[in-house]
Structure 1
């Protein structure tokens, strides 16, 4: 693969090397829709290869570095990478060593050897290769990249404590670039289900207002994702207060538009996957930049309504006094994807669900209680609830109907 060919991965996906990691899949889907395998199998294979390379941050960084440092040893490195994919780590290590003998400054070879050593649980060998690379690549950006890549490889192999140590070492070495290390540190804590530590990292990483610049917007995006995951909805105003400081520092309309588009991308993604609570948070931030835009107001009102339904669903799920089939019906009607419904149904023995269906009086009474206690859920599916109530109460005698009138 020539250097020119390596540059084509981004072009194949219809983008550039500046694209954010979160949008790689989106561009891949667009490319596949435009060039499906049945109409252009060769191009589809190129698209698939490009996506497989770029979707993994570590592979992408290695790929980008290869583009920068590609030379006559590229064939050897290609063979080494293929051996790694096949699990032939000993062969791959020999080839990477050969590449270094031909070109002692080849960064891709160092990264490959570090990865193999970590996979084989030889952390001391990985440290040795890492130190050799740091001695050769003294440029700050290159060293920051090395710290990041080593940490990602360690985390991928579940050496989480060691990965955190590497990131802290990088942060201490380059304190002015602490955000480069804070993002992956937070990601590791999220992987370990220690969201509180991830939250602390971002809440403490916001610089003074005078130092806030456009690039800090990614910090806010990540911080909001942690808020959503931890369901710390009451902390939204805390982030918004800091975000207003960033807005004041955006000096031109182009910068404001870039930040606005970033938040709208997150909103649209979450809305598409039916995560309306999260989508509402992101469009709230977008609104802070949009002013009186009628289209944004309309979208905000729509997602706010859906988010309120989702909030009531969370309460309904935990309501031990609610008739169980109410939650199941709500899930069935609310989500466009049936995966959530399957997850819920798997928690109930089939015989139990059948018995619930036969409890028509309690089922009907449950709908009345739902109308009073969960008004957003009721309004969202009013026609369905009313039709179900009518079906359940068909044939009820006078006494049964009087009983329903007393339901609170």
Structure 2
């Protein structure tokens, strides 16, 4: 924003009505067309871009009173946070609405506003007042401001909108800093919940590089506690691969913790079994009764077991009747696990050997060969 008056460029004063502003704009454009004086025409258009909008004009008038000093205007607005929200809003809006002279000043102001909104539980107020203004900034400044908008959304009830805002922010994030850690971790949790595999790996990599660089303080302890809560949630659900991702981040923060390293090793073994289980679920040669057997073995004590049992129950599936009606297919499915899923078989060898024997011990050699062909 240039220091000379926009009103002067249009040949009028700050006392002019909005209609007068529009009239003077057309007069000036006629007087200085692009073909005659390109630079003057550009300056006229720039002035009208602001003064032609009543809202932007109010912002411009406010910033003129501070002699175009965005920082003074913003600091004055911050002083009224929680006391005079109208003054605070008008000053901060003015600073954001016009192209800022100093991006760092705007970042400073919005960071304080976002912290205030979170601390005072004024989430909706912040979103309603500042989201549109933030999204209308130039590309570079908008990306920096999205960090604070994402942080506020992480405390809101509108998880879907927060996910979209955070996605846009993280998409262009190259070298995260400590300030990015809470938003990244919140976004990472949402990605896990939504099973966004590609983005999970990208954000996991960013966090794995960032977390070890954080200072050893209360802030870092809080992030570690968040990771612990995430791990507990995914482990209880029976989502072992996601539990691995989280434990890897914990280990990145505390690499010299043997118990954590041993725990991660155990989780990776479970995650391998989980991947084999998911392949088996879509294997056309393994029927549902065997999938249910695997579920009860691998996810015993985890919510995933009950979720599948409830789903099958709602569909009218009765395990005992299915076994009785499809004994051969059940036996063939068990034998296929032994043949094609060695990790699953080794993990529960005694169970599989016992069940295979139970379903095949009465069969002739020819009948067993027939079953093998089904595997």
Normalised by the size of structure 1, how large is the TM-score?
0.53
- The secondary structure found in structure 1 opposite 2:285 is coil
Taking structure 1 as reference, are residues 255 and 151 closer, same or farther at Cα in structure 2, changes over 3 Å only?
A: closer
Q: CA RMSD in A?
A: 4.3
Q: How far apart, in 1, do the equivalents of 2:166 and 2:92 lie?
A: 33
Q: Is the 8 A contact 1:312 1:374 kept in 2?
A: yes
User: Aligned match of 1:178 in 134, 146, 165?
Assistant: 146
In structure 1, the residue matched to 2:354 is: 387
Q: How far apart, in 2, do the equivalents of 1:165 and 1:253 lie?
A: 33
Tell me the CA shift for residue 290 of structure 1: 2.8
In structure 2, the residue matched to 1:314 is: 278
Aligned counterparts, 1:95-174, within 5 A? 134=89, 141=112, 145=116, 152=124, 167-169=131-133
In structure 2, the residue matched to 1:268 is: 232
In structure 1, the residue matched to 2:340 is: 373
Q: Is the 8 A contact 2:240 2:270 kept in 1?
A: yes
Greater RCO, CA 8 A, separation 6+ = 2
Give per-residue Cα distances to partners, 1:317-369, cap 9 Å, x unaligned.
Answer: 33333211111222233242453133331353346972443322211111111
Taking structure 1 as reference, are residues 198 and 308 closer, same or farther at Cα in structure 2, changes over 3 Å only?
A: farther
Tell me the CA shift for residue 279 of structure 1: 1.0
Aligned counterparts, 1:255-334, within 5 A? 259-333=223-297, 334=299
User: Aligned match of 1:349 in 316, 321, 329?
Assistant: 316
Tell me the CA shift for residue 406 of structure 1: 4.4
User: Aligned match of 1:339 in 288, 293, 306?
Assistant: 306
Q: How far apart, in 1, do the equivalents of 2:253 and 2:329 lie?
A: 49
User: Aligned match of 1:399 in 358, 366, 369?
Assistant: 366
Q: How far apart, in 1, do the equivalents of 2:171 and 2:296 lie?
A: 41
Taking structure 1 as reference, are residues 347 and 376 closer, same or farther at Cα in structure 2, changes over 3 Å only?
A: farther
Q: How far apart, in 2, do the equivalents of 1:267 and 1:242 lie?
A: 18
Q: Is the 8 A contact 1:276 1:310 kept in 2?
A: yes
In structure 2, the residue matched to 1:227 is: 191
Tell me the CA shift for residue 282 of structure 1: 0.5
User: Aligned match of 1:250 in 207, 214, 235?
Assistant: 214
Q: Is the 8 A contact 1:368 1:407 kept in 2?
A: no
Give per-residue Cα distances to partners, 1:50-100, cap 9 Å, x unaligned.
Answer: xxxxxxxxxxxxxxxxxxxxxxxxxxxxxxxxxxxxxxxxxxxxxxxxxxx
Tell me the CA shift for residue 372 of structure 1: 3.1
Q: How far apart, in 2, do the equivalents of 1:316 and 1:164 lie?
A: 48
Q: Is the 8 A contact 1:137 1:143 kept in 2?
A: no
Q: How far apart, in 1, do the equivalents of 2:212 and 2:260 lie?
A: 21
Q: How far apart, in 2, do the equivalents of 1:200 and 1:266 lie?
A: 20
Tell me the CA shift for residue 143 of structure 1: 7.3
Larger-Rg structure? 2
- How many residues end up aligned between the 2 structures? 271
- The secondary structure found in structure 1 opposite 2:362 is coil
Tell me the CA shift for residue 316 of structure 1: 2.8
Q: Is the 8 A contact 2:182 2:223 kept in 1?
A: no
Unpaired runs of 5+ residues, structure 2, are 1-79, 94-108
Q: Is the 8 A contact 2:287 2:330 kept in 1?
A: yes
Is 394-403 or 178-187 further displaced after alignment? 178-187
In structure 1, the residue matched to 2:54 is: none
